[in-house]
């Protein structure tokens, strides 16, 4: 049954209150991704130069940690069991530009630990809309085991000619309810006469994506939050390095046997201005000059490198991605260095793959394709992005064909860098080539003379 206006407003307000607790945590993650980290210690009365160095002591490695994993995740197809052709919902996927928008889902999952996608009936195809957890929250009766949520709430700010207003959309298993209010979320009310849009899908049309499987119901965590402390340590080490460069890396001079000059008030003055192109000169022969050794920066650099390696260990990102050190690595060494990343990517693809399949089943339901909705055996196909040379891969695939009798066409999609479009074009060309070869064989057979017959040159007349 569709909600009444008071019931929809009350439910939306309750869900928005529930969102407030998690928004603080999500905002901190977003800040760290943008380089807005916790500041290093600032003593009271610090000079402007001190604060200037603090602003430049940030080395933000967190976006790279997310990018390295996200660039290894790409859905390339959706196949029913026992078929090498994409299922019907795949056309809706492509019509909604999900070939590109899927990366936003994957990055949100890796960054915040979760993401959402909504499917609503539409023409000519259902509409798929991805959401970050900063814009949407879904509520489950059992957050661990339930496939579909009870409610979902989406909120955003919208610009109008009269200023800004907040749009709140509430989802349940019957309809989507659109409410509007002030920018702070107060004074919610229905947005016009068509504020309730019935979808009649029988389930709340929201699919949740998670970064890790949590059986305790304590919430999921992304790749960024565990690295907060390491990022702060890295910034602190960088700040100490900049301080040493600013104040101790330049060799300080000293002078003895010279009375310092005084100003008009009798206060001692610095006798020399230390600079790169300056020269110290004294008239007294007993005056001696010298200099202190510059601070060795090697320890700071090694400490920063150790922090980055620690971050690479925690995140399972190969160190060469964060440090930029990759010298004469063979394909075997590169594959070994990527072992942790490949395992992590496989796990993330397994979790996100189930949600993609749930999304495409929901697309089938929204398209009135009950066969696609009930097909729980169909699977998404992930593009192979593992670090293997093309020669090694082709050699291994060739052995599968010759030694195990695997049909070559079944292995084309395992060639690195080959897209599903390439595979379909190859199969079409192969089928056309087989048809042409069969036609040529039939023509040649028809042109051959019957068995026992003689050619014109072998007739008696020709022999005479």
The verdict on residue 410 lying in a domain is: yes
Q: How is residue 268 annotated by DSSP? A: B
Tens digits of residue pLDDT in 230-248: 999 999 999 988 888 877 7
Kind and range of the H or E run holding 435:
helix 420-447
- Of 387, 410, 433, which residue constitutes the final position of a domain? 387
pTM for the full predicted model: 0.79
279: containing domain? 251-262+270-293
379-382 and 163-171 as β-strands: parallel, antiparallel, unpaired? unpaired
What is the Cα 119 distance to its own chain's centre? 22
Is residue 272 within 8 A of residue 253, CB to CB? The reply is yes
Asked whether residue 462 is assigned to any structural domain, the reply reads no
Does 286 share its domain with 427? no
pLDDT at 298: 87
Alpha carbon distance 6, 218 (integer Å): 32
Domain co-membership, 170 together with 281: no
**Is the domain of 229 the same as that of 175?**
yes
* Residue 301 shares a structural domain with residue 316: yes
Helix (H, G, I), strand (E, B) or coil at 382: strand
| 36 & 177 share domain | yes
Asked whether residue 456 is assigned to any structural domain, the reply reads no
Nearest by Cα to 292 from 254, 324, 329 = 254
**Which H or E run contains 127?**
strand 127-131
Tokens of 431: 């089928």
Same domain, 257 and 226: no
Same domain, 257 and 398: no
Say whether both 289 and 433 belong to one domain: no
Do residues 382 and 413 share a domain?
A: no
Count of CA atoms in the C-beta half-sphere (13 A) of 251: 8
In a domain, 141, yes or no: yes
Task: Kindly state whether residues 132 and 205 are assigned to the same domain.
Answer: yes
> What are 153's two structure tokens?
């709430």
Q: Is residue 93 part of a domain?
A: yes
Give residue-wise pLDDT tens across range 250-259: 667 778 877 7
Q: Is residue 11 part of a domain?
A: yes
Mean of per-residue pLDDT scores for the chain = 84
**274 and 137: one domain?**
no
Q: Identify whether 414 is part of a domain.
A: yes
For the stretch 105-120, pLDDT in tens is: 999 999 999 999 999 9
Residues 310 and 334 occupy one common structural domain? yes
Sole residue written with tokens 């994409």? 86
The β-bridge relationship of strands 175-181 and 163-171 is: antiparallel
Number of domains within the chain: 3
As a whole number of angstroms, the distance between CA 3 and CA 163 comes to 29
Peptide bond between residue 124 and the one before it cis (omega within 30 degrees of 0): yes
Q: Which of 365, 387, 409 is the last residue of a domain?
A: 387
Residue 113 contacts residue 218 (beta carbons within 8 Å): no
Residue 104, C-beta contacts closer than 8 angstroms, at least 6 positions apart? 115, 130, 132
**Per-residue pLDDT in tens (0 to 9) along the chain, 464 residues:** 789 999 999 999 999 999 988 899 999 999 999 999 988 888 787 788 888 888 888 899 999 999 999 999 999 999 998 787 899 999 999 999 999 999 999 999 999 999 999 999 998 999 999 999 999 999 999 988 999 999 999 999 988 888 889 999 999 999 999 999 988 878 899 888 889 999 989 999 999 999 998 888 778 899 999 999 999 999 999 998 888 887 776 667 778 877 777 888 878 877 777 666 667 777 777 788 777 777 788 888 899 999 999 999 999 988 888 887 655 666 666 666 778 888 899 999 999 999 999 999 999 999 999 999 999 999 999 987 765 556 667 777 787 788 877 787 777 777 766 766 777 777 777 776 666 566 566 656 665 666 655 555 555 544 44
In a domain, 464, yes or no: no
Terminal alpha carbon distance of the chain: 102
Q: Is 409 exposed, middle or buried (0-12, 13-18, 19+ CB in 10 A)?
A: middle
Of the residues 339, 367, 387, the one at which a domain ends: 387
């Amino acid at each position: 049954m569709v909600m009444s206006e008071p019931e929809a407003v009350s439910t939306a307000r309750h869900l928005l209150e529930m969102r407030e607790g998690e928004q603080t945590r999500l905002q901190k993650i977003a800040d760290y991704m943008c380089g807005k980290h916790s500041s290093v210690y600032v003593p009271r009365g610090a000079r402007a130069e001190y604060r200037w160095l603090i602003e430049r002591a940030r080395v933000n490695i967190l976006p790279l940690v997310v990018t390295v994993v996200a660039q290894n995740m790409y859905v390339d197809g959706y196949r029913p069991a026992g078929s090498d052709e994409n299922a019907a919902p795949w056309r809706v996927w492509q019509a909604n530009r999900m070939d590109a928008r899927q990366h936003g889902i994957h990055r949100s999952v890796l960054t915040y630990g979760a993401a959402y996608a909504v499917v609503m009936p539409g023409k000519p195809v259902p509409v798929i809309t991805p959401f970050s957890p900063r814009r949407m929250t879904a509520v489950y009766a059992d957050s661990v085991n339930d496939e579909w949520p009870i409610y979902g709430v989406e909120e955003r700010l919208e610009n109008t000619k009269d200023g800004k207003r907040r749009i709140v959309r509430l989802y349940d298993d019957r309809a989507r309810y659109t409410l509007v209010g002030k920018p702070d979320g107060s004074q919610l009310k229905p947005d016009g006469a068509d504020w309730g849009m019935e979808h009649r899908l029988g389930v709340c049309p929201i699919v949740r994506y998670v970064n890790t499987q949590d059986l305790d119901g304590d919430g999921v965590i992304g790749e960024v939050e565990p690295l907060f402390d390491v990022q702060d340590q890295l910034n602190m080490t960088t700040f100490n390095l900049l301080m040493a460069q600013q104040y101790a890396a330049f060799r300080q001079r000293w002078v003895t046997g010279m009375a310092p000059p005084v100003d008009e008030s009798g206060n001692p003055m610095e006798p020399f201005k230390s600079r790169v192109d300056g020269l110290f000169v004294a008239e007294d022969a007993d005056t001696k000059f010298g200099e202190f050794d510059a601070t060795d920066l090697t320890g700071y650099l090694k400490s920063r490198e150790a922090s980055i390696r620690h971050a690479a260990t925690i995140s399972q990102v190969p160190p060469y991605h964060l440090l930029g050190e990759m010298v004469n690595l063979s394909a075997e060494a590169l594959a070994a260095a990527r072992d942790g990343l490949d395992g992590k990517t496989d796990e993330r693809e397994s979790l996100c793959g189930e949600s993609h399949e749930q999304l495409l089943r929901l697309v089938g339901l929204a398209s009135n394709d009950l066969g696609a909705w009930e097909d729980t055996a169909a699977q998404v196909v992930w593009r192979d992005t593992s670090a293997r040379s093309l020669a090694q891969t082709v050699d291994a695939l060739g052995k599968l064909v010759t030694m195990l009798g695997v049909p070559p066409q079944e292995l084309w999609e395992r060639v690195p860098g080959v897209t599903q479009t390439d595979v379909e074009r190859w199969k079409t060309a192969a089928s056309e080539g087989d048809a042409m070869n069969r036609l040529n064989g039939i023509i040649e057979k028809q042109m051959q003379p019957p068995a026992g017959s003689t050619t014109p040159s072998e007739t008696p007349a020709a022999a005479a």
